[in-house]
Structures are given as structure tokens and as C-alpha cells.
């Protein structure tokens, strides 16, 4: 052991001390471009920026850093025959304005060449900022500019990070240290990290952030904290990022001194109106409220026999005069409802479709249960044509191995976005619900539960920076492909060398499926350890809530396993369109990745592969383990392409992942094996310990709860 560690140390030491790359710079590395073409260097030599404001200062600064990093040169900023022109369309000379696209909208941009000039234009300063970041990203990737240039604009209005950060700086489901919001030093100290955070988001087009936990503390709405929130909003504003706060539904009681929080009570309504007015005095462009109500112990309209719409509308009316919106989460379920938890949100919200104010958007998790490694899309998508719905993805890996398990999540997001709801017949993909085109929503949005913390590289695992990046890119364009996202991120973060890019891309694109294989293959779900969800816990049963146990979800017995959501079971299937009921309800048609999500099947069930279910399950777990081991080999072969610091950090996390993949395989197969009574098929390694050993593992102070 000692010897081992020392080698690690010896290896680690030199590089970091000489030229440390702790990953803080994320995908904005701006490393030197090898043999750059002349036109690239020229482009950043003489820059003309029309006007003066903080956002333009940021653009200027960004060009400085990039030119410095790419070519070791500093641009001169002047209006005389510039090589790069950055100006609003209205500021362009007519001969250039005429060439600019007319479909830029408020945040879009057009990058094009004209004679010897490159032009970045837009209808707003934030469009210019996004265009600048895009141009620099294309340069880093060494992509030439096409004839037509680049015309792009976001397909989703509200691209918002959700921070489950508490006021004591702990982060619920956070694994990369603690909250980057230092409330105690705010508002008087604006930490550079706040600006670097805003910059990173702007480089992806993220335009909003909800900085407090959805399990909310009413104190955030008191002047003591509003003054602090204001300081953050002021810091984010020039980056085009709006600030949102989570509203605890019972705030009128807790900080307002009222007896009730009933949304139909006039005093309560007035209290929220006054509170909103107060907030807007601190933050004139406050984005609005994010609310988790009637869920997991949070107060809500149910406490007063009111609907979710009545609750949401009260808050919506309060922020309406100031242009704010309410993001109301659909994650509503109760242990008192006997029904399959899968069905509850649908049952609660579909009947009130259309009853929400126009400045309310209902925020729906990608799946009906809770951010499992794989879930079918949430049946609400497509089911509320008269109520804008936004997507909530989880970037932080609550159920995906926490921060040490490499899982590139873009494929998971993409799988859901590209799934067809068949609501308006074929081609009614979830992405069309999110971009609003399917139902002509007046509001659109996508939320991502942030994975950033105080770790020096922001996200714990260096590769989890890619999930922040992927969320941003998909929020901008839900149709973006995982492969492009992966390739771009690799090139921006590490290098453009093919020998590195290709294998790493392959590894990333397979990583989510790998995690599914060793955690919850074939539609198995929610069998993680209790409460902290770290590691396997298929044996978790009993306690206050059945729907918080594993046995509730896997129903394993001598007869087999799986959750029957067909007609013979909870019939959650009925919440999907007939096309999907037919497909997913039919054992011959259902994709095996969803098999045990919808069906309870005997251990001997015949799979397409010819294996019986039990063998197929076991082989998936083994496959996941093998893939995790394979990643280590792949990564080791790439050592010469990566700086030592990040190489060693990633390697050590990959070793933890491979070890924990075995933990998952052994624990789960031993547990289910009790019921199947069947031997492990050939090719599956025997477990290292007995079931009791795994059931007795008790990790202390697991982060994130």
C-alpha cells in the first residue's frame, strides 16, 4: 500500500507544481492552436467593437484571453479597417447589415465573412456575447468558417441551472464539495468565482440560475438574504444570466407572521404581491420563482385543499407586473396515495391543464420516478397541450454513482428528447414539447440540476464538466447530437489530436450505458442504498414510505422480478399514447432496456438474445464491470496527450468506478440470486463476498444529503 501510494505521489508531484492544470478553466482552456492558419491569427488582430457596456467589456476581455492563449498575441481594438467587427445589426453599415440573417431573434447571432472582415452581429448584446464565444470555440476546434458562416439562435427561452444549495453551503445531492455561494461574505465580497461561473454559463448560452435549493428555506426571501442575492444578480447580469429564487410555499407563515399560506386567502395573496415588489426593488430583472410543493414533506396548496394551479397562480400574479415567471415543479407525489408513484404527477396535473396563468411553466423531470440511470420519458410530456412544460434534467449524479463514476449524460438526455410521444401522430418527439413547437407554447424552458461545487475543478470528476457543458448545449438546442457535444467538449477541454479525441469520444458515448449495465439494466430502477443513494441497496425495504424502498420497485420473488405497469398491474402505461401502450405493453415489441420497468417477468423469461432473463441480467452487470475496466486501459494509453494533473485525477476516479461497478454487480446478483435460485451464467465472475457483507456496508457522512 505505502509503496503504491508513493508511486502515485512521485508521478503526481512534478507536473502540478510546474504547470498545474487543476481544470478550473473548464472548456475555456484556450490552449495554443498548432500551426494556425494565417486567417485565424489575422482575425484576432484588429477588432472593432461597437459601443460601451459591461457585456462588451466581457467580450473584449474574452478576445484578449483567447488571442493570448491561441497565438500569444493581443488584439488591438480600433475602428480602422478591423479584421473582426462586433456590432448589433442596427449598428452595422448597411452593406453588412444586408448580409446579416433576419432570423436571429433576441439572443441569436450571425457570424459571417465579408471581404477580409469577419462579422459577429446580433439584435442584442447577449447575442454578440454568444456569437463571440461560438467563434472562439470554432477556432479552438480549428474549424474553418463556412461560406454562409454561422447563424444560430436558442430554441428554448429559459435555460436555467438549478442549484440545490442550502444557506449553510451544503449542497443537496452535491458531490463536488460545497456551495460556491459564500453567503456569509455576500454582499460585500464578490468572489472572482462568481464571475467565472457566469462566464462559463454564458459560453454555453445558459441564461438563468436558481441559486437555492428547491427544498427551500424561507429566509432567502428576507432582506438579509435578498441583499446578498442582489449582489449575485448584479454580478451575473452582464453575462445575460437572470437570477431565480426558490419560494417555500409556507413563507407567509414562517417569515410573514400570517396564520396561513392558503393561496385563496387574500392576506396571503397580498403578502406574496408585496414580497415580489420588494424583491424587484433589489433585483429589477429578477427571473421569478422556482417552487417544489406538496412533495417529500414540502408544504403546498394541498395543505389547504387547493390545486397546484391555484398555488402556482398566486405566485404568478405576484411576479406578473414585473415580468417574472413561476417554474412550478410537477414532482408531486404522496405516500398516502395508494397509486403507483409513476402515475401521480400525471393524475394531478393533466386534469388542470390550461388552468395555469400564462407566466407559469410546469417543470417536469425527464422521467416519472426520479432521475434514474434510465427512465422512459415522463408521460406528462405531450399530455398538457395548454400548459407550457419545461424539462428538468439532473446534471449532478444522485443515482449515477455520484462524482467518481464517469457517466457522460448527453446520450441519456438525448434518448428522452428524441423519444416520440405520438401525441400528434408520428414525429411528436419530446424535444418538440420542450422547444414549444408541438403545442405552440408561449413559454419554453429547460432546467439542469447543477453539479458544481467548491472542488478546484468545479465538478469533482473532470469528465463531469462535460455534463454541465452538454446540458447547456441541449438547452440551447434540444436537437444537438451527443456525439457532436462530446467531440466539441473534448477538443475545447483537452486537445484536437485525433488519437485522443476518437477513443475518448467513444469512451464517453458508451459511459452512460456502461453505468446502466452495472447498476440498473433492462429497466430495473431505484435499487440504490437508502437516503444517500450511494451504492447498491436492492434489499432496502420497510421504513416510513414504501415508495422510497427498493422492493417497491423491483418486486423480486421466486416468481421473478419487475414492476408490472401494464393493465394487469398499475397500468401506468395508460398514461402514454396508444402507440406506446401497444409497443411498451407488448413483450415482443418493448425495447429490452424498458423491460422490467413495465413488466414483471419470471427468471426464465426468454430474451431476444436467447438467454433467460436471469442470465441476461447477470451478463449486463458483468458487461458494465468489463467496460469500466476497459476504460482504465484506454485512458492509460492516452497519458502522453494529457497534463499529469488531470490524467492522474481521472485515472484514480476510473479505478474507483471499476471497483464500485464490481460492488454493484456482486451485491445485486447475490441479492436477486436468492430469488432466482439460479447459478451465474458463464462469463460472470463469482462475487468476492457474501450478501451479508454487502448489506452491512455502512458508509459514513456520504456527501449530498
Residues acting as catalytic residues: 296, 370, 398
Q: How far is CA 309 from CA 245, 264, 286, 306, in A?
A: 19, 11, 22, 8
Is there binding between residue 267 and a copy of itself (CB under 8 A)? no
**Residue from 2, 72, 95, 147 that binds a copy of itself (CB under 8 A)?**
2
Q: State the cell numbers at 311.
A: 398555488
Site string for a copy of itself, 21-60 (x = CB under 8 A): -x-x-----------------------------x--xx--
Contacts 24+ apart (CB under 8 A), 320-325: 320/357, 320/359, 321/276, 321/277, 322/276, 322/277, 322/280, 322/286, 323/285, 324/276, 324/280, 324/286, 324/287, 324/288, 324/289, 324/359, 325/158, 325/287, 325/288, 325/359, 325/360, 325/361, 325/443
How near is the Cβ of 287 to a copy of itself at its closest, in Å?
16
Single out the residue of 37, 39, 224, 506 in contact with a copy of itself (rule: CB under 8 A).
224
Cell of 11: 508521478
Q: Is 310 in the site for a copy of itself (CB under 8 A)?
A: no
Please give the Cα distance from 565 to 367 (Å, whole number).
Answer: 14
- State the nearest-atom distance from the C-beta of 602 to a copy of itself, in Å: 39
| Shortest distance in whole angstroms from residue 219 CB to a copy of itself | 6
Question: Given the complex with a copy of itself, which of 402 and 554 has the nearer CB atom?
Answer: 402
Give least dist CB 466 to a copy of itself, A.
19
Among 42, 138, 196, 630, binds a copy of itself (CB under 8 A): 196
Residue with Cβ nearer a copy of itself (17 or 38): 17
Separation of alpha carbons 567 and 509, rounded Å:
36
| Cell (9 digits) for 407 | 457517466
The answer to the question of residue 396 lying near a copy of itself (CB under 8 A) is no
Of 42, 234, 497, 579, the residue at the interface with a copy of itself (CB under 8 A) is: 234
| Stretch 312-351 residues interacting with a copy of itself (CB under 8 A) | none
The DSSP-derived string for 388-440 is -EEEEEE-S-TTTTGGGS----HHHHHHHHT-B--BTBSS-BHHHHHSSTTTT
Which is it for strands 389-394 and 445-449: parallel, antiparallel or unpaired? parallel
Contact status, residue 11 vs residue 39, Cβ threshold 8 Å:
no
By CB under 8 A, what part of segment 164-193 binds a copy of itself? 167-169, 177-178, 183-185, 188-190, 192-193
Would you count residue 589 as binding a copy of itself (CB under 8 A)?
Answer: no
Q: Does 9 bind a copy of itself (CB under 8 A)?
A: yes
> Strand 46-49 vs strand 389-394: parallel, antiparallel, or unpaired?
unpaired
Binding mask 112-151 for a copy of itself (x = CB under 8 A): ----------------------------------------
Bridging pattern class, strands 84-88 and 242-246:
unpaired
* CA distances, 207 to each of 151, 446, 475 (Å): 19, 11, 10
Task: Rule CB under 8 A: say whether 17 interacts with a copy of itself.
Answer: yes
Residues that bind a copy of itself (CB under 8 A): 1-2, 5-6, 8-10, 12-14, 16-18, 20, 22, 24, 54, 57-58, 61-62, 64-65, 68, 167-169, 177-178, 183-185, 188-190, 192-193, 195-196, 199, 219, 224-225, 230-231, 234-235, 237-238, 404, 454, 456, 645, 648-649, 652-653, 655-656, 659, 699-703
Amino acid at each position: 500500500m505505502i509503496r503504491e501510494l508513493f508511486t502515485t505521489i512521485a508521478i503526481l508531484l512534478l507536473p502540478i507544481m510546474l504547470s498545474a492544470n487543476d481544470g478550473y478553466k473548464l472548456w475555456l482552456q484556450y490552449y495554443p492552436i498548432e500551426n494556425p492558419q494565417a486567417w485565424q491569427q489575422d482575425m484576432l488582430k484588429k477588432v472593432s467593437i461597437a459601443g460601451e457596456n459591461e457585456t462588451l467589456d466581457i467580450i473584449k476581455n474574452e478576445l484578449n484571453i483567447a488571442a493570448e492563449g491561441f497565438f500569444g498575441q493581443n488584439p488591438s481594438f480600433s475602428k480602422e479597417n478591423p479584421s473582426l467587427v462586433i456590432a448589433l445589426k442596427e449598428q452595422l453599415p448597411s452593406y453588412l447589415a444586408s448580409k446579416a440573417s433576419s432570423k436571429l431573434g433576441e439572443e441569436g447571432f450571425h457570424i459571417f465573412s465579408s471581404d477580409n472582415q469577419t462579422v459577429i452581429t446580433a439584435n442584442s448584446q447577449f447575442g454578440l456575447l454568444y456569437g463571440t464565444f461560438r467563434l472562439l470555440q470554432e477556432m479552438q476546434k480549428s474549424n474553418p468558417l463556412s461560406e454562409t458562416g454561422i447563424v444560430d439562435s436558442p430554441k428554448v427561452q429559459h435555460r436555467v441551472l438549478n442549484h440545490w444549495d442550502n444557506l449553510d453551503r451544503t449542497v443537496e445531492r452535491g458531490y463536488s464539495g460545497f456551495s460556491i455561494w459564500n453567503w456569509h461574505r455576500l454582499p460585500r465580497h464578490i468572489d472572482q468565482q462568481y464571475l467565472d461561473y457566469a462566464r462559463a454559463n454564458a459560453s454555453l448560452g445558459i441564461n438563468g440560475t436558481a441559486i437555492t435549493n428547491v427544498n427551500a428555506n424561507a429566509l432567502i426571501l428576507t432582506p438579509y438574504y435578498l441583499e446578498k442575492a442582489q449582489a449575485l444578480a448584479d454580478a451575473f447580469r452582464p453575462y445575460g444570466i437572470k437570477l431565480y429564487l426558490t419560494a417555500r410555499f409556507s413563507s407567509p407563515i414562517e417569515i410573514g407572521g400570517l396564520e396561513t399560506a392558503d393561496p385563496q386567502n387574500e392576506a396571503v395573496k397580498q403578502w406574496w404581491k408585496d414580497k415580489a415588489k420588494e424583491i424587484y426593488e433589489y433585483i429589477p430583472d429578477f427571473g421569478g420563482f422556482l417552487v417544489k410543493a406538496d412533495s417529500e414533506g414540502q408544504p403546498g396548496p394541498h395543505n389547504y385543499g387547493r390545486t397546484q394551479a391555484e398555488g402556482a397562480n398566486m405566485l404568478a400574479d405576484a411576479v406578473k407586473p414585473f415580468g417574472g415567471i413561476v417554474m412550478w415543479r410537477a414532482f408531486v407525489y404522496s405516500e398516502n396515495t395508494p397509486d403507483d408513484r409513476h402515475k401521480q404527477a400525471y393524475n394531478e396535473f393533466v386534469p388542470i391543464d390550461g388552468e395555469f396563468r400564462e407566466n407559469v411553466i410546469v417543470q417536469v423531470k425527464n422521467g416519472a420516478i426520479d432521475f434514474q440511470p434510465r427512465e422512459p420519458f415522463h408521460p406528462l410530456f405531450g399530455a398538457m397541450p395548454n400548459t407550457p412544460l419545461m424539462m428538468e434534467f439532473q446534471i449532478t449524479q444522485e443515482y449515477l454513482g455520484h462524482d467518481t463514476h464517469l457517466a457522460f449524460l448527453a446520450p441519456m438526455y438525448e434518448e428522452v428528447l428524441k423519444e416520440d410521444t405520438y401525441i400528434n401522430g408520428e414525429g411528436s418527439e419530446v424535444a418538440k414539447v420542450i422547444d414549444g413547437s408541438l403545442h405552440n407554447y408561449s413559454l419554453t424552458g429547460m432546467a439542469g440540476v447543477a453539479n458544481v461545487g467548491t472542488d478546484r475543478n468545479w465538478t469533482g470528476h473532470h469528465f463531469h464538466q462535460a455534463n454541465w457543458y452538454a446540458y447547456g448545449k441541449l438547452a440551447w438546442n434540444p436537437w444537438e447530437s451527443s456525439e457532436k457535444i462530446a467531440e466539441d467538449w473534448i477538443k475545447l477541454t483537452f486537445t484536437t489530436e485525433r488519437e485522443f479525441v476518437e477513443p475518448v469520444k467513444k469512451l464517453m458515448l458508451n459511459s452512460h450505458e456502461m453505468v446502466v449495465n452495472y447498476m440498473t439494466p433492462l429497466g430495473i430502477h431505484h435499487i440504490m442504498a437508502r437516503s444517500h443513494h450511494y451504492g447498491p441497496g436492492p434489499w432496502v425495504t420497510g421504513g416510513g414510505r414504501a415508495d422510497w424502498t427498493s422492493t417497491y420497485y423491483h418486486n423480486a420473488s421466486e416468481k421473478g422480478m419487475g414492476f408490472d405497469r401494464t393493465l394487469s398491474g398499475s397500468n401506468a402505461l395508460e398514461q402514454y399514447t396508444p402507440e406506446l401502450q401497444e409497443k411498451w405493453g407488448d413483450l415482443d415489441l418493448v425495447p429490452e432496456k424498458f423491460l422490467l420497468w413495465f413488466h414483471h417477468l419470471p427468471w426464465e423469461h426468454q430474451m431476444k438474445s436467447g438467454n433467460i432473463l436471469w442470465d441476461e441480467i447477470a451478463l449486463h452487470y458483468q458487461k458494465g464491470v468489463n467496460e469500466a475496466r476497459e476504460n482504465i486501459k484506454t485512458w492509460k494509453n492516452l497519458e502522453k496527450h494529457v497534463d499529469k494533473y488531470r490524467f492522474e485525477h481521472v485515472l484514480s476516479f476510473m479505478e474507483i468506478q471499476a471497483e464500485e461497478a464490481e460492488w454493484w454487480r456482486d451485491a445485486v446478483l447475490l441479492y436477486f440470486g436468492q430469488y432466482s435460485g439460479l447459478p451465474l451464467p458463464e462469463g460472470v465472475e463469482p462475487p468476492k463476498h457474501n450478501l451479508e457483507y454487502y448489506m452491512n456496508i455502512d458508509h459514513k457522512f456520504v456527501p449530498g444529503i
